Each structure stands twice: as C-alpha cells, then as structure tokens.
Chains A and B, each alone.
Chain A
Amino acid sequence: MIMYILILSLILVLGIFTLASKDLLHSVIALSAISMLSALLFTILRAPDVAITEAAVGAGVSTVIFVWAIRHTQRRDKEES
C-alpha cells in the first residue's frame, strides 16, 4: 500500500516538474521517468502486459518523438508577448 502511494506521489511530483520546467528537454526526461515509474507500478499491480507496453511505447517511442519535436523547435519555454 505504502509502495503505491510512494510511486504515485513521485509520479505527481514529476508531473508538476514536467509542466513547471522551463527547459522542455528536462520535461521530456521527466515524462519518460513517469512512464518508467508507471511501468514499475503496473508490474507490482500484476499487469505485466501493460507494463511492457508502457515501457516500450510510453518511455520508448513517445520519448523519441518528443525529443525529435524539441530538436526541430526550441528547447526553452519562453513567454512572448
């Protein structure tokens, strides 16, 4: 039980970091960490299939696409008027 709460609060903190960070690359890394943590939680929750999918698709493919997108745009999240 404590384990679930621990992982979930870590996910929540990383989620807030993802949105608050000014460097989009850091956000992407936090997002893939969220995926890895979710995969861990799914393994604990006895959902191995979902864990594999989340690790492969969430942490793998989507990170690649995000990094590609950021490389073709800009890394900084700056406010313009």
Chain B
Amino acid sequence: MIIERILIFLLFLIGFSAIVAMRNIIKKIFGLNLMNAAVVLLFILEGSRIGSQAPILDDGIIHMVDPIPQALMLTAIVIGVCVSALSLALAVRLYQATGSLDIDVITKRLADEH
C-alpha cells in the first residue's frame, strides 16, 4: 500500500520539477499533465479501498467502491485537458512569434516588444 503511494508521490514530484526547472514550454505542459494524472490516480486508488464492486447498482451489488472520488475525477480530468489544450495553443502562438520553445529565449525576445 505504501509503495503505491510513494510511486504516485514520485510521479507528482517529477511532474512538478519539470514545470519549475525545464525550459522547454511544451515539457512544462507535459509536467502539468503528469501532476494531474498523479492526483487522479491517487483519488481513485484510495477511493477503491473500501469496496470491491463497481458503483453501478445492479442486482447482487453489496460492497461497492466509493463513487464520489470517481465523479470528482471525471471533472478534474476534463478540466486538466482543457487547461493543457489552451496552454498548448498559447505555446504555438509563442513559437510563431519568436521561433523558439525555450522560455528564457521567448522572454528575452518578447521583452523588447512593449
């Protein structure tokens, strides 16, 4: 149980360090996606510990998992994808304007344009 959590923690952390440290803006968006994936995995994994059946009320269901985290994560997944779609569009626009994906280069080249 603890191993799974540590794995998820590591996934979260490498996603975060990509956002902070990587200079390529598309890599930053990858990092954001990984962080999101880690949180979704965590929610579902922990929410499924209290049951053994899918949360669909058929006959013979007595011991279902917690459906609340699943419903929340549906929303979170979609929001995550929407945010990364917008950020990718912005990244493309930045590339068209400056010809680079490197955040430092982009900042420098756009600093002259006020």
Contacts and interface: CB of A to CB of B under 8 A. Distances in A.
A and B touch in the complex (CB under 8 A): yes
Interface of A: 1, 4-5, 8-9, 11-12, 15-16, 18-19, 24, 27, 31, 34-35, 38, 41-42, 45-50, 53-54, 57-58, 61-62, 65-66, 68-70, 72-74, 77, 79-80
Contacts of A18: 30, 34
Contact of A46 (B15, B54, B74, B102): B54
Interface string B3-27: 1100110110011001000111011
B4 A50 contact: no
A72 B96 CA distance: 8
B100 A80 contact: yes
B74 A80 contact: no
Nearest to B22: A19
A63 to B, nearest CB: 10
Residues of B in contact with A, size category: 35 or more
Interface in B49-100: 51-56, 64-65, 70-71, 73-74, 77-78, 81, 84-85, 88-89, 91-92, 95-96, 100
A24 B40 contact: no
Given A46-B53, A50-B44, A61-B81, 18 more contacts: A5-B4, A11-B7, A11-B11, A12-B14, A19-B22, A19-B31, A31-B30, A38-B37, A45-B65, A46-B51, A46-B65, A47-B70, A49-B71, A53-B78, A58-B37, A68-B92, A73-B95, A77-B26
Is chain A's binding surface mostly helix, strand, loop or mixed?
helix
Interface of B: 1, 3-4, 7-8, 10-11, 14-15, 18, 22-24, 26-27, 30-31, 33-34, 37, 40-41, 44-45, 47-48, 51-56, 64-65, 70-71, 73-74, 77-78, 81, 84-85, 88-89, 91-92, 95-96, 100-102, 105
Contacts of A31: 30, 33-34
